[in-house]
Chains A and B, each alone.
Chain A
């Protein structure tokens, strides 16, 4: 489940980052990008690579937030009841590790 969630976050963002990377660096030449007023000194290859990971990071943050908001507050917050005492249908019921101590 955790792995699935990780794939949900990392994989769509990877695709989105690839598209963003291609479009952005087609239009903007890394050698002409300003960096706080001065020239971005890195090699083009480094800029492309770092740029890709930045795009990936941003897109992944968005995917992660989507995953986060998909869960109700009951799933995220601590529950005062021990696991077996939780009502049927409670998402934390079967998860012993999630019980509060």
Chain B
């Protein structure tokens, strides 16, 4: 069975030049860049991270302001409390996010990717740490090429140490959205975190460290679903980062004082700064590529060079396909931003936002579920009275107590047997109340009869205020 099959006399076939389907990733060493867009990106990094790291520490109504309390199945967002039944709002939120993404992409390409996506934001922060510890592009490349030495080990250890600290803090903050963060902090300080809390802090920390420290642009290139299809949202009027070949070509190096036009050269000095600063390692001069995350680092880099050379800025700039072809001015480009597609996206987006806000505002903070107790349909078929037992689940979704009164109607002579009313339902809690409904058989038309419960709830601290009213239908079954 294990006898190897010997090839009889297979003629040696010349090895065809084979290529693997996937190129091996070359490590990218982005060069630091300063300028307008870098400043914008850092603004977004600071804003988003201030919100992310800071929000769990805020308090509201004597509890964490934003807490996704999975244990008690309630989401607190400032004054609002969401229950699992409110999942429609989550759906609406996702629709709003998706539509905003469509809108921003149609207007100016991958704005989200370049400025606000967590992958970009954390990569930016991790690269900043890397730069502080190991130096800029050339120093890092040199360091990686040298054999391991005490200095190299120290630098790498410090970098990874800082990365791990930041990653763990990120993981801790993430879990702090689900477990009250002050409690979690005390648990961490006394090393008493629960097994799952520990696990998720490490899991999220590891994901941050891996994605921002190691994976970087590969996440955008291979893992991000949005990156794959975003270009279908582009049209010829979408602002994208563009190299102006008409102005730049033929490229070539030259001295600052040389009359390059006389030599037949374009504005591109072929310094390759635009390639060096690119976090995905592409050359924007080859045209728009799917790897381009729209970070505009090449614009900043090129503008600096143009300044040094004394050439006008904007050899690489935000422009549109049509503008490049038709040589539009800025005014005409901006005018084209308000094209039908963008207007429709904007209108739909606002419609959804307004509809969501209105329904959220008019949401009744009292929910009632009626469950008829099937085992308890009672009395014999010749009794003059029919009895059914129901369980009413009253959910008080707000953070104030409610005094509840229940009544029933729908059939002539119907009566309700219930514990003494009003019944107190604690803030953000639900309570099951068992009731017995009795109706004279003579007034029933059918085997199953429509009845309805009316639940009225008042705020006990404001007895005069208008009660919340919920009417819930149920069926009264006659045996």
- Chain A residues within CB distance 8 Å of chain B: 1, 4, 7, 11, 15, 22, 25-27, 29, 43-46, 48-49, 80-82, 84-88, 93-94, 100-101
Contact = CB atoms under 8 A, between A and B. Distances in A.
B105 to A, nearest CB: 20
A45 to B, nearest CB: 5
A49 B5 CA distance: 50
B10 A15 contact: no
B12 interface: yes
Nearest to A22: B90
Interface centre among A4, A26, A29 (most CB of B within 10 A): A26
Interface in B189-206: 194, 196-197, 199-200
Nearest to A82: B7
B18 A49 contact: no
Nearest to B18: A94
B22 A29 contact: no
A82 B13 CA distance: 12
Interface string B173-209: 0000000000000000000001011011000000000
Given A1-B20, A29-B73, A101 B13 contact: no
Interface residues on B, range: 20 to 34
Given A46-B196, A85-B12, 18 more contacts: A7-B222, A7-B223, A25-B70, A26-B84, A26-B87, A26-B90, A43-B71, A44-B70, A44-B73, A45-B70, A45-B71, A45-B197, A49-B200, A80-B5, A81-B10, A84-B12, A84-B15, A87-B13
Contacts of A43: 71
B204 to A, nearest CB: 13
B196 A27 contact: no
Interface in B21-55: 21-22
A93 B16 CA distance: 10
A88 B4 contact: no
A67 B71 CA distance: 37
A29 B196 CA distance: 18
Interface of B: 4-5, 7, 10, 12-13, 15-16, 18, 20-22, 70-71, 73, 84, 87, 90, 194, 196-197, 199-200, 222-223, 225
Contacts of A86: 13
Contacts of B222: 4, 7
Contacts of B87: 26
A29 to B, nearest CB: 6
14 contacts: A1-B22, A7-B223, A26-B84, A26-B87, A26-B90, A27-B84, A45-B196, A45-B197, A46-B196, A49-B196, A84-B10, A84-B12, A94-B18, A101-B4
A61 to B, nearest CB: 20
A19 B45 CA distance: 27
Nearest to B178: A45
A30 B103 CA distance: 39
A85 B5 contact: no
Given A45-B70, A45-B71, A45-B194, A88 B223 contact: no
Given A4-B22, A80-B5, A48 B70 contact: yes
B423 to A, nearest CB: 23
A84 B70 contact: no
B276 to A, nearest CB: 27
